[in-house]
Amino acid sequence: MKRTSSFLIAVLATFFSVAGFTTNSALATTPQGDAFEITGFTQPFRKIDLSSDETGAIASLSVLEGDRVAAGDIVAKLDCRVQEIQLQIAEKMAGSTSQRIAASKSLKKRQAISQRIALLRQQGHASESEIIRADLELAIAESKYNVAVEDAAIREIEAKRAAVQLERRTITAPFNGLIAKIHSREGEFLSPLHPEICSIVQVDKLLATFNVSSDQAQQFTVGQSYELRLANGETISAEVYLVGVETDPQSGTVEIKLVIENSDYNIRSGENVTLNI
């Protein structure tokens, strides 16, 4: 019995000794108690489904998946034959000056007649009814001229609207990016329920997204610079772009986003990235 007790005591002493040594080693790997390492991932700075607010069939598609586009580049054109004819009609009507010229000549004639009537009145050779009629005809001529001027202005605006409607049939890229996916191709009809043409991602800038605890989130400030480590071991500089204003109730974490300059497109979206604090 004494020999068994001595053996158990020796085993327990050895166990506690090993446990204590292991705990001390784990604590030694945490730098200064405040530093921590977070793993996140990269994502596009912006991603949209490029759509058209105009309905119609796609006449031409100028891009393929994977193509790089710049802001203003043509992505697709809708069938615009009707809009082109409407623009021609509107421009023709806007360029017409016959109505305004006729109204202007009529006004000048009525102004001359009114002046002669006024002169005859001073000489006592014009009756009151002639003066009233001359004034009325002059007022009518002025009104017709004003209407002609207003109509000409309206026709010019109609021509501008027709030009805008034609322009909207051409879909352009809103920013520099890559074509991630094609949703509709030539001949397909775009409707209010399915207006998407393609997905564009902006990756000349990337967002590195991390989830940290509420206490750790207090260390981050928008505009602050940090060093990030990519999966290949490369180190890059990034700047805090967003500090989440809410704590996720399930995970108890706050979302932090850092912006990475990627003008050479060397860093891919969706890769793991590490932040050391």
- Tell me, yes or no, whether 88 lies in a domain: yes
Query: pLDDT grade, residue 34 (50/70/90)?
Result: low
The per-residue pLDDT for range 66-112, each reduced to its tens digit, is 999 999 999 999 999 999 999 999 999 999 889 989 999 998 998 88
Task: Give the count of domains, the chain.
Answer: 2
Looking at the structure, do residues 127 and 238 belong to the same domain, yes or no? no
Query: Both tokens of residue 245?
Result: 């204003």
Q: Answer whether residue 13 is part of any domain.
A: no
Residue 65 shares a structural domain with residue 133: no
Q: How far apart are CA 180 and CA 63, in angstroms?
A: 11
Q: Pick the last residue of a domain from 120, 135, 167.
A: 167
- Residue 9 maps to a domain: no
Which has the closest alpha carbon to 61: 185, 172, 171? 185
The reported pLDDT for the residue numbered 124 is: 75
Residue-averaged pLDDT of the chain: 85
**What's the pTM?**
0.68
What is the CATH number for 41?
A: 2.40.30.170
Domain of residue 152, residue span:
80-167
Supply the pLDDT for residue 271: 92
203 and 236 together in one domain: yes
**Same structural domain, 51 and 94:** no
Q: How many whole angstroms separate alpha carbon 243 and alpha carbon 255?
A: 6
Give the integer Cα–Cα distance in Å for 74 and 59: 13
